[in-house]
A = this chain, B = another copy of it.
Amino acid sequence: MSTGPATDRVRVRRAPGRAVYDEQAVHDILDAGMVCHLGYVVDGQPYVVPTLYGRDGRRLVLHGSSASRALLTGSTLPVCVTVTHLDGLILARSLFNHSANYRSVVVIGQAKVVGEQRDKEAALRVLTEHLVPGRWEEARTPTDKELRATAVLQLDLAECSAKVRTGPPNDDEDDLRLDVWAGEVPIELVARRPVADPGLTPGIGVPASIARWVPGIERHEGRR
């Protein structure tokens, strides 16, 4: 069902059977995430920093403060943004076939600094609504001074690819009779019961944004 990669630079070489180039599948993986890993280069040395992001149609917006020293030299920057969900550990009968179930997206391109105040506010709204839908309307919106103090990057989703592994272990035929347990330990990112700020004004209840919660994250009461 997948179309091919947009460019050869994002063609999946390792385990190409796990490659996904379908746009909707890429968007679904991005929409289920909260933290991306942003890679950039300074003097030939790669740096990878975690940051929050959101998807605005066919581009990503991300908090760019950590990469700002790299951005001082120009208005665009070659970057790679990767989003990964670990879905399970795969325990095979052989150690060689141990693996993980996961979904990941790799996006490469030129990140642009968002300069205009209005564009910056729009990007922050996308980012906020991606993480906690409905939150933008609940909290105090940014002042001009706050917008100036925020670095926002945008990156087109033109060059991207996804990799997905699902299912049980792939053991070699000869190993199937071994007296070794094989299977998956599913792994999930879950949200726990919200913890109010110690200084919260009494009487302010948990807002709708949290009750609805983030797509892809199970609302889970936990054992607290």
* Cα distance A44–B45 in the bound complex, in angstroms: 10
Known contacts A65-B14, A186-B195, A195-B183; is A141 also within 8 Å of B95 by CB?
yes
Q: Mark A113-154, 1 if CB is under 8 A from B, else 0.
A: 000000000001000100110011011111100100110000
* Cα distance A117–B73 in the bound complex, in angstroms: 44
From B37, B44, B189, B193, A189 is in contact (CB under 8 Å) with B189
* A109, closest chain B residue (CB): B45
Q: Are A95 and B49 in contact (CB-based, < 8 A)?
A: no
Q: Mark A192-203, 1 if CB is under 8 A from B, else 0.
A: 111111111100
Residue among A82, A108, A185, A214 having the largest count of chain B Cβ atoms under 10 Å: A185
A25 within 8 A of B: no
From B91, B104, B177, A210 is in contact (CB under 8 Å) with B91
Q: A52-B100, A98-B131, A188-B190 are in contact. List 19 more A-B contacts (CB 8 A).
A: A9-B45, A34-B89, A45-B80, A46-B108, A47-B80, A48-B48, A48-B82, A89-B132, A91-B139, A95-B124, A98-B139, A140-B178, A140-B180, A179-B201, A181-B196, A181-B205, A185-B191, A186-B192, A188-B192
